[in-house]
Amino acid sequence: MGASGSGKTSMRSLILYVAILILIQSALSSHVSSNNPASLTARLGATIDVEQNHVRFLGDLILNLWDCGGQDAFMDSYLTTQRNTIFSHVGVMIYVFDIESQGTNQDLEYYRECMEGLKQFSPNAAVFLLVHKMDLAREPKSEVFEKKKKELEEASGDGVVTVFGTSIYDESLYKAWSSIVHTLIPNAAVLSRHLTTFAAACSATEVILFERTTFLVIATSSPVAGPTLSPGKPTTPEQDALDRHELNPTRYERTSELIKAFKHSCSRVREEFHSFEMELYDFTAVLDEMTRNTYVLIIVHDPSIETAALKLNIRMARRKFE
């Protein structure tokens, strides 16, 4: 939910239908000057009433996504005649605020009323607030975001909310949506436990499971302390240094962006993307299909581990994860 023009349909298209957008872009490539799928969202029209999508996610999970058009007439109807339909059986409400919006008070008033509707019909729903179009925010952006976040938390009363700053032009949108989807996956903790076992079996620093079409992070292994990465091995100062490697906090978002761009390049030369492996001077990365709906990425800092062994481990673990 959120005001008209705040960017709901754009983000939905980019996150859930990135593959479709890319196809459209390929088809139009001779007419579209920009190479960025985000810029295609400028062509989207206003959403009329509610657009519902059922997205098959991780095989048996169906993500039922309602994109509620934000024009005032629609908002008024959601809060009155359609109140029961809109706010019942909600798992997560995502409310989008345009950081540049002029009609802030009206925006907050609708938001408060939506929170009341949610409290009445789906009291257990999680609430995510996206302070969107952060690329347009004035500098310093972090201050602008913190101010807006505080304002939204105050408007939320006693409701628990999670606030993200997002933009379709960088990885922030992906980070927020990974968090949102993660709360909807019933067995995320079990998956994470299995991935941690798998990471230990591969002597990996980290193992990450991505959803196939969106490349959102489903689960990751828990961090393993350095020396236990190679049990039984005497630790040398060089090995200690490798084990203490620092992991970049935006690594998931950036990896996802890179892989999506790579998949895009593959589709342009009519090749299908299946897997890749990379051996750099200080780490090895292997990405491969884990199940019908997921890809797994293994990161290893131990130079004695062969990529063939990692691929074999993936093959052997597939049945367990399917």
Residues that bind ligand GTP (CB under 6 A): 2, 4-10, 41-42, 44, 46-47, 69-71, 132-133, 135-136, 167-169
Whichever of 46 and 62 has its CB closer to ligand GTP, that residue is 46
Whichever of 2 and 117 has its CB closer to ligand GTP, that residue is 2
Q: How many angstroms separate the CA atoms of 25 and 300, rounded?
A: 36
Q: How many angstroms separate the CA atoms of 185 and 143, rounded?
A: 33
Q: How far is the CB of 321 from ligand GTP (least distance, A)?
A: 34
Whichever of 107 and 206 has its CB closer to ligand GTP, that residue is 107
Q: How far is the CB of 167 from ligand GTP (least distance, A)?
A: 4
Whichever of 131 and 202 has its CB closer to ligand GTP, that residue is 131
Q: Where are the alpha helices (DSSP H) in 29-161?
A: 72-79, 83-87, 104-121, 141-155
Greatest alpha-carbon pair distance for the chain in Å reads: 70
Whichever of 168 and 207 has its CB closer to ligand GTP, that residue is 168
Q: How far is the CB of 44 from ligand GTP (least distance, A)?
A: 4
210-230: b (≥16 Cβ within 10 Å) or e: bbbbbbbbbbbbeebebeebb
- The count of other CB atoms within 10 Å of the CB of residue 94 is 21
Secondary structure (3-state) at 223: coil
Q: How many CA atoms lie within 13 A of 224 on its CB side?
A: 27
Q: How far is the CB of 40 from ligand GTP (least distance, A)?
A: 8
Q: How far is the CB of 36 from ligand GTP (least distance, A)?
A: 11
Place of tokens 């309602």: 66
